[in-house]
Amino acid sequence: MNIMEWKINKSAKGCVVCEKDFCEEEEYFSALYDENDIFTRKDFCLACWRNNTEGGHFSFWKTKKPKSDKPARKFININVLLDMFGRLEGKDESRQKNLRYVLALYLIRKKIFKLRSLSKQNGEEVIIIYYPKEDREFAVTNMNLKEEEIEVITSEMCQLLNYPDMELDALNNSL
What pLDDT does residue 33 have?
81
Q: Does the pTM exceed 0.75?
A: no
Mean pLDDT of the chain: 79
What pLDDT does residue 15 have?
93
In tens, the pLDDT along 104-123 reads 988 998 889 999 998 888 88
Stretch 61-67: mean pLDDT: 82
18 or 76, higher pLDDT: 18
CB 43 within 8 A of CB 11: yes
Distance (Å, whole) CA 133 – CA 160:
27
Sign of the dihedral defined by the CA atoms of residues 132, 159, 166, 17, in that order = negative
Stretch 97-106: mean pLDDT: 90
Q: Which of 30-34, 76-80, 130-134, 163-167 has the highest mean pLDDT?
A: 130-134
Distances (CA, A) of 141 to 51, 72, 136, 138: 38, 34, 17, 10
What pLDDT does residue 22 have?
92
Full DSSP string of the chain: ----EE------SB-TTT-PBPPTT-EEEEEEEEETTEEEEEEEEHHHHHT------SEEEEEEPPPTTSPPP----HHHHHHHHHHTTT--SHHHHHHHHHHHHHHHHTTSSEEEEEEEETTEEEEEEEEGGGTEEEEEE-----HHHHHHHHHHHHHHHT-TT--HHHHHTT-
Is the model's pLDDT at 170 over the cut of 70?
no
